[in-house]
């Protein structure tokens, strides 16, 4: 063989190894995160009902449970999902169907700006506008900031799914004598129910996983769920605040919450993927 | 029928107007809150390294150190994410057997679905101890005793961004017309030679991926607050603890009402964060869109 072709083969081998190493690194990282979550979190999760229902134990004492934070998570994510759907679906329809109109242009910019806002920034604004006037953090304030964070994802996904409908369906609807908005509401949206459902699920997944928006809006009430307008907490907040504590039982609890949150988030992700076939995240 | 459709249209349009109002509210509320500190500190808000809310009177608010921290963590995290994702995309497209390709894409999907607080917890309890045990702190004057450092934060944020960056790069790589790939094969090009040509064709999308990742790294709070170690250091040596703008907000906003100027100063910091993230992300998506249009043009 000529030296030149040997050099080529060697270079190819080197690139092969290097790139394979980076793929392996990704597999390793994901594997290690999931494995740590299972190994460290399973003992807490195996406490079963007491983990899911009870409040955390005293510092240095029993592990206890994540009951109030789980309740807070379910309530805030449910409200955030409803709110982001109520605002995001119409906005997505407008973005897709009225492209170029002044309102759609403004909405396009607005959705982009909200998507670009770091989620801690949204938390700060909700703190100023809701927590300060209400004089206390609350599940409601947390839900509002989660809803705002989820909103652009819902709107963008609805727009994409409507834009992906082949032109032939619009033509068919128009040829039946339907006006533009009749076609949108009577034909295009109903046939696109899957796309809309995907968008809503994507929004709820977003709301479930976020921590920064609830940092100053939820409060840190880990011991009971007091109601929508009272201080509350979420699983993500519990992990964030308990992760760095020196108490072994609280760290164990945080790992249990990591496993629970990962399971919830993964099931939403796979539900989204099954529903949509393929989703742009 | 016609009437109810008109009513629905009206509802949709007014809801859309609410979305516009939400965005405007974010900017307005932040600007109003931060006006106070910006009027007092002026440019020295960005340039001064002195952050001292407890100083007599109003306090001193200079954000230079955390701002530098944000830029360094953002740049490091972006480099890690882009390097990993370009290498992985090349491997998956040019070398990997099908089963491996599927395994890696499932791993990427799982990684993208993980909440950031899970990355943060993992970084705090797996990556930080590793940094500590490896004695990397000894390389710096004020090396971190806990393993929480600029490097730790950047590494975990970089990993968190990798699936996002690879989805952008991979989409561009896939969009290269098949005739080019065929031509490369027919010339007998080896894997790295094909990758070199194809990466040259998608370099704009790689740049877009970098900008978009940077935009997200700048705003990332949860991971950074858990792994950077929160200290007012200039981020010159990567194994020292530091602050970013976001970790500063996370650690101080809770007690901000105790000091006369702190709420305003942290709001101004948030406004700066929003501006940085918005500019890089807008630039990134503009480049990505232009690259996609160009790719379609070449394919025709």
3 state DSSP class of B184: helix
pLDDT of residue A279: 42
Which of residues B122 and B255 earns the better pLDDT score? B122
In the stretch 146-165 of chain B, residues with CB closer than 8 A to chain A read 159, 162-164
Is A9's Cβ below 8 Å from some Cβ in B?
yes
Instruction: Please name which of B126, B117, B113 lies closest in space to residue B152, comparing C-alpha atoms.
Output: B126
B97 touches A at CB < 8 Å: no
Segment B99-118 shows an average pLDDT of 93
Angle at B171 between CA B168 and CA B172, to 5 degrees: 90
**Does residue A103 sit at the B interface (CB-CB below 8 Å)?**
yes
Distance between CA A187 and CA A177 in Å, rounded?
12
Q: A41-45, A59-63, B239-243: lowest mean pLDDT where?
A: A59-63
CA-CA distance, A191 to B117, in Å (whole number)? Answer: 37
| A10 close to B (CB below 8 A) | no
pLDDT of residue B256: 85
The pLDDT of residue B257: 84
pLDDT in tens, A77-134: 999 999 999 999 999 999 998 888 999 999 999 999 999 999 999 999 999 999 999 9
Q: What percent of chain B has pLDDT over 90?
A: 59
**Paired tokens of B123:** 């970084």
User: Is B226 in Cβ contact with A240 (below 8 Å)?
Assistant: yes
Residues in chain A: 281
The structure's pTM equals 0.93
- Calculate how close chain A gets to B34, using CA atoms only, in Å: 11
Q: Does A23 touch chain B (CB under 8 A)?
A: yes
Q: Three-state DSSP class for B22?
A: helix
Structure confidence at residue A217 (pLDDT): 93
* Mean predicted confidence (pLDDT) in B20-46: 92
Angle at B263 between CA B70 and CA A210, to 5 degrees: 55
Confidence of residue B298 (pLDDT cuts 50, 70, 90): low
- pLDDT, one tens digit per residue, over B8-23 is 889 999 999 999 999 9
Please give the helix or strand (H or E) that residue B61 lies within, else none: strand B60-61
On whether the CB atoms of residues B90 and B296 are closer than 8 A, the answer is no
What confidence category does residue A2 fall into, taking pLDDT thresholds of 50, 70 and 90? low
Which residues of chain B from 275 to 294 reach within 8 Å of chain A, CB to CB?
277-278, 281-282, 285
- Among candidate residues B219, B179, B236, the one with its CA nearest the CA of residue B65: B236
pLDDT score of A277: 63
Does position A213 have pLDDT exceeding 90, yes or no? yes
Distances (CA, A) of B154 to B149, B206, B218, B221: 9, 19, 11, 12
Could you report the per-residue pLDDT of A5-26, keeping only the tens digit for each? Answer: 888 899 999 999 999 999 999 9
Mind listing the pLDDT tens digit for each residue in A142-182?
A: 999 999 999 999 999 999 999 888 888 888 888 988 888 88
- pLDDT category at B77 given cuts 50, 70, 90 is very high
In sign, the C-alpha dihedral spanning A217, A220, A225, A226 is negative
Distance of alpha carbon A253 from alpha carbon A65, whole angstroms: 7
CA A134 to chain centre: 26
Residues within 8 A of B (CB atoms), A 190-219 only: 205, 208-212, 215-216
List C-alpha distances in Å: B272 to B64, B169, B285: 12, 28, 20
User: Could you write out the DSSP letters of every residue in A111-162?
Assistant: HHHHHHS-HHHHHHHHIIIIIHHHTS--HHHHHHHHHHHHHHHHHHHHHHHH
Which residue in the set A33, A127, A186 is minimally distant from B122, CB to CB?
A33
Where is A169: in which H helix or E strand? helix A167-175
Nearest CA in chain B to A85: B15
**Residue A1 predicted with pLDDT over 60:** no
Nearest one of B71, B34, B97 to B279, comparing CA atoms: B71
Specify the pLDDT at position B290: 87
Yes or no: say if B87 and A19 are a contact pair by the CB < 8 Å rule. Answer: yes
Tokens at A221, concatenated: 């009430």
B202-240: per-residue pLDDT in tens? Answer: 899 999 999 999 999 999 999 999 999 988 988 888 999
On the question of pLDDT at A253 being above 60, the answer is yes
Please check whether residue B247 touches A, CB under 8 A.
Answer: no
Are A265 and B113 an interchain contact pair (Cβ–Cβ within 8 Å)?
A: yes
Q: A280 pLDDT band (50/70/90 cuts)?
A: very low
Q: Which residue of A has its CA nearest to B119?
A: A33
- Interface contact flag, A151 B19, Cβ < 8 Å: yes
Tokens standing for residue B44: 């020295």
Axis crossing angle, helix A235-243 with helix A67-97, rounded to the nearest 10: 120
Question: What CATH class is the domain B66-299?
Answer: mainly alpha
| Phi, psi of B61, deg, nearest 5 | -125, 100
Q: Is A189 part of the contact surface with chain B (CB cutoff 8 Å)?
A: no
Instruction: Annotate B241-258 with DSSP letters as a single string.
Output: ----HHHHHHHHGGGGGG
Chain B residues with CB under 8 Å of A273 CB are: 109
Query: Which residues in chain A are closer than 8 Å to B104, comparing Cβ atoms?
Result: 23, 26-27
Q: Please tell me the distance from the alpha carbon of residue B66 to that of residue B63, in angstroms, as a whole number.
A: 6
Residue A211 in this model has a pLDDT that exceeds 60: yes
Token pair belonging to B293: 């249009």
In this predicted structure, what is the pLDDT of residue B138? 82
**Domain residue extents for chain B:** 2-52, 66-299
Average pLDDT over residues B24-30: 95
| pLDDT tens by residue, A223-237 | 989 988 899 999 999
**Residue A281 confidence (pLDDT):** 38
Look at residue B39 and tell me whether its pLDDT is greater than 50.
yes
Q: Which of residues 59-98 of A touch B (CB under 8 A)?
A: 86-88, 90-91, 93-94
User: Under 8 Å CB-to-CB from A188, ≥6 apart: which residues?
Assistant: A162, A165, A169, A170, A173
What is the predicted ipTM? Answer: 0.92
Q: What does B199-216 look like in DSSP terms, one character per residue?
A: HHHTHHHHHHHHHHHHHH
Q: CA-to-CA distance for B19 and A2, rounded, in angstroms?
A: 66
Backbone angles phi, psi at A173, to 5 degrees: -65, -45
Of A213, A200, A105, A100, the C-alpha closest to A155 is: A200
Write down the pLDDT at residue B300. Answer: 39
pLDDT for res B163: 95
Out of B115, B167, B195, whose CB is closest to A261?
Answer: B115
Q: How far is B192 from chain A (nearest CA, A)?
A: 5
Residue in this structure with the two tokens 């949150």, named with its chain if needed: A261
> Cβ of A31 and B100 within 8 Å?
no
Selecting from B13, B111, B125 the residue whose C-beta is nearest the C-beta of A30 gives B111
Task: Tell me whether residue B245 is exposed, middle or buried, using C-beta atoms within 10 angstroms of its C-beta: 0 to 12, 13 to 18, 19 or more.
Answer: buried
Residue A92 near residue A200 (C-beta atoms within 8 A): no
CA atoms within 13 A on the CB side of A188: 30
Q: Examine the pLDDT at B195 and tell me if it is beyond 70.
A: yes
Query: Tokens 């065929």 sit at which residue?
Result: B182
- What CA–CA distances, in Å, run from A35 to A25, A38, A81? 15, 5, 30
SS3 B13: helix
Average pLDDT, chain B: 90
């Amino acid at each position: 063989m000529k030296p030149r072709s040997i050099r080529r083969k060697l270079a190819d081998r080197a690139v092969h190894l290097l790139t394979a190493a980076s793929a392996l690194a990704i597999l390793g990282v994901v594997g290690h995160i999931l494995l740590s979550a299972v190994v460290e979190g399973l003992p807490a999760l195996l406490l079963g009902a007491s983990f899911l229902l009870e409040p955390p134990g005293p510092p240095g004492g029993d592990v206890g449970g994540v009951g109030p934070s789980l309740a807070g998570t379910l309530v805030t994510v449910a409200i955030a999902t409803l709110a982001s759907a109520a605002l995001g679906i119409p906005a997505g329809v407008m973005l897709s169907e009225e492209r170029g109109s002044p309102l759609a242009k403004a909405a396009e910019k607005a959705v982009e700006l909200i998507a670009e806002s770091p989620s801690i920034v949204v938390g700060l604004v909700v703190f100023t506008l809701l927590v300060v006037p209400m004089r206390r953090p609350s599940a409601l304030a947390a839900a509002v900031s989660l809803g705002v964070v989820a909103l652009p994802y819902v709107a963008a996904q609805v727009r994409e799914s409507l834009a992906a409908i082949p032109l032939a369906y619009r033509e068919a609807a128009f040829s039946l004598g339907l006006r533009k908005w009749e076609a949108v509401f009577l034909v295009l949206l109903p046939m696109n129910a899957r796309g809309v459902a995907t968008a809503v699920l994507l929004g709820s997944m977003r709301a479930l996983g976020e921590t920064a928006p609830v940092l100053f809006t939820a409060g840190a009430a880990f011991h009971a769920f007091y109601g929508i307008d009272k201080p509350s907490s979420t699983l993500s907040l519990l992990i964030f605040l308990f992760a760095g504590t020196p108490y072994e039982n609280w760290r164990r609890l945080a790992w249990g919450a990591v496993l629970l949150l990962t399971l919830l988030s993964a099931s939403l992700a796979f539900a989204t993927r099954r529903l949509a076939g393929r989703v742009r995240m | 029928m016609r009437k109810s459709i008109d009513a629905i249209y009206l509802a949709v349009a007014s809801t859309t107007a609410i979305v516009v109002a939400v965005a405007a509210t974010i900017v307005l509320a932040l600007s109003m809150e931060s006006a106070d500190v910006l009027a007092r500190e002026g440019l020295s808000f960005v340039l001064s390294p002195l952050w001292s809310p407890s100083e007599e009177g109003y306090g001193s608010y200079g954000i230079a150190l955390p701002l530098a921290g944000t830029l360094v963590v953002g740049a490091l995290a972006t480099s890690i994410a882009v390097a990993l994702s370009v290498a992985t995309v090349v491997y998956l497209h040019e070398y990997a057997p099908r089963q491996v390709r599927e395994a890696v894409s499932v791993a990427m999907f799982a990684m993208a679905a993980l909440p950031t607080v899970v990355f943060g917890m993992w970084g705090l309890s797996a990556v930080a101890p590793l940094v500590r045990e490896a004695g990397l702190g000894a390389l710096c004057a004020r090396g971190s005793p806990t393993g929480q450092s600029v490097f730790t934060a950047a590494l975990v944020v970089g990993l968190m961004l990798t699936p996002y960056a690879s989805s952008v790069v991979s989409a561009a790589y896939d969009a290269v017309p098949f005739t080019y790939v065929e031509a490369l094969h027919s010339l007998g090009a080896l894997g790295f030679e094909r990758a070199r040509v194809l990466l040259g064709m998608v370099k704009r999308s790689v740049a877009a991926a970098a900008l978009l990742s940077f935009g997200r790294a700048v705003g990332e709070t949860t991971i950074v607050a858990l792994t950077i170690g929160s200290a007012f250091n200039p981020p010159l040596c990567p194994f020292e603890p530091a602050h970013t703008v976001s970790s500063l907000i996370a650690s101080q906003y809770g007690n901000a009402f105790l000091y006369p100027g702190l709420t305003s100063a942290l709001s101004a910091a948030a406004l700066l964060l929003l501006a940085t993230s918005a500019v890089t992300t807008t630039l990134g998506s503009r480049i990505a869109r232009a690259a996609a249009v160009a790719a379609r043009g070449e394919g025709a």
